[in-house]
Structure 1
């Protein structure tokens, strides 16, 4: 993999394609598309919220959307191309989010995932995130988690 970098303006549609492929696995569980599948990814790229990793051939491999808030950095989306799941790219993006929060002098990371996505909740817990609260109604109930940055 090549280094993490900001998504380029012309990559908005490629980011959308990667995110849709990454989140498609959750459609049967939720009975509908998860939120990130419907985002306006070209606008997110234009806003400077999206960072990407490339594979050796220069194709997008993983995407992180980080949105600064007054007291935290929101890890809005982490997406890894389906053929690269389990290769550590998600962990690399979470580590990048921590570095970015420190760089911005934000005291914590915040994220949410669907309550039905148990493997995501477990992954984030393994990386030091703790559940703070839940919002919404099933099947779109959100579990909010945060990690304090030392």
Structure 2
């Protein structure tokens, strides 16, 4: 259950678990894309050292999901959001996105931006259902990417 899962900053000793979570979450897309998507080959140890990875941890201490996010210009860029298949469908991705919204506001940013692969139909439905709007499509770094943005309403409105 998502309520039993805590979200916190990843530490150096989480790098292997984050990588395993990414591999499990993205492996089904390899045949569709024709190669491993970028999130499967990220340098998670370096990202964790930079302090830009948050993990969702179940009561047994397992990494159920994670998010890589950082400020980029005037928005918070979500580079990676992945949920281990064993934990999908429990609202954990939505919780991580809410965490990103809180982080953006704390940093004085008013938008979230991210991209996903055009072959990842689940993601293409997931983000618009949570208020994201498609803003661009382009071929980049050997991938067909779809860019999304979400404007964050002021908390007082």
Interval of TM-score (by shorter of Structure 1 and Structure 2):
over 0.9
CA displacement at 1:2 relative to structure 2: 3.3
Query: Secondary structure at the residue paired with 2:108?
Result: coil
CA displacement at 1:93 relative to structure 2: 0.7
Structure 1: stretches of 5+ with no match in the other structure: none
State the match for 2:85 in structure 1: 82
From 10, 30, 45, give the equivalent of 2:13: 10
| In 2: Cα distance, 1:142 partner to 1:21 partner | 21
Q: Deviations over 1:80-113 (max 9, x none)?
A: 1111111111111111111111111111000000
Query: Secondary structure at the residue paired with 2:97?
Result: helix
Query: Secondary structure at the residue paired with 1:56?
Result: coil
| In 1: Cα distance, 2:103 partner to 2:32 partner | 32
TM-score normalised by L of structure 1: 0.95
Matches within 5 A, 1:58-137: 58-136=61-139
Would you say how many aligned residue pairs link Structure 1 and Structure 2? 150
| In 1: Cα distance, 2:80 partner to 2:32 partner | 18
Structure 2: stretches of 5+ with no match in the other structure: none
Q: Which runs of 4+ in 1 moved over 4 A?
A: none
Query: Secondary structure at the residue paired with 1:58?
Result: coil
| In 2: Cα distance, 1:81 partner to 1:57 partner | 15
| In 2: Cα distance, 1:84 partner to 1:2 partner | 10
CA displacement at 1:58 relative to structure 2: 0.8
